[in-house]
Amino acid sequence: MEHAESDLKKIIKSNIHLEIEHVQTIIYNLICAIKYLHESNVLHRDLKPANVLINEDCTVKLCDFGLARSLAGVESAAMILSKVDIDKDMGNLAKKPAKGFSFEEGDSSGSESAGIIEKFKTKM
């Protein structure tokens, strides 16, 4: 596996301020990764910020598949994993990668970004 610069847990706990485009791109890429897994009949079962690797270009990679399970042969798999059209259901989320951001702490690029990080912290 290629080297990833950080994970979502480190970004949430750091002083890094993300622009709204970065947050949208990270969320969109994360949802696409989960959709890919589910279309392959795989459940991760251990999704948490520490298992979401992120690069400066907002590329997302999932890791730690130790608890993952296959749904192949499970009769109720269709009920567990319903196919969704990400582009239709995601509304206004970014569908193209945002410009890169720096992992250097202390960058104060705006109070809006700080508010988004606080929302991440309270939700996770």
Which DSSP state fits 49? Answer: G
End-to-end CA distance of the chain: 26
- Assess whether 89 carries a catalytic annotation: no
Looking at 46, 57, 64, 107, which residue is catalytic?
46
Length of the chain in terms of residues written? 124
Number of neighbours of residue 78 by Cβ within 10 angstroms:
11
Which element (helix H / strand E) includes 61? strand 60-62
Q: Which active-site residues does the annotation give?
A: 46
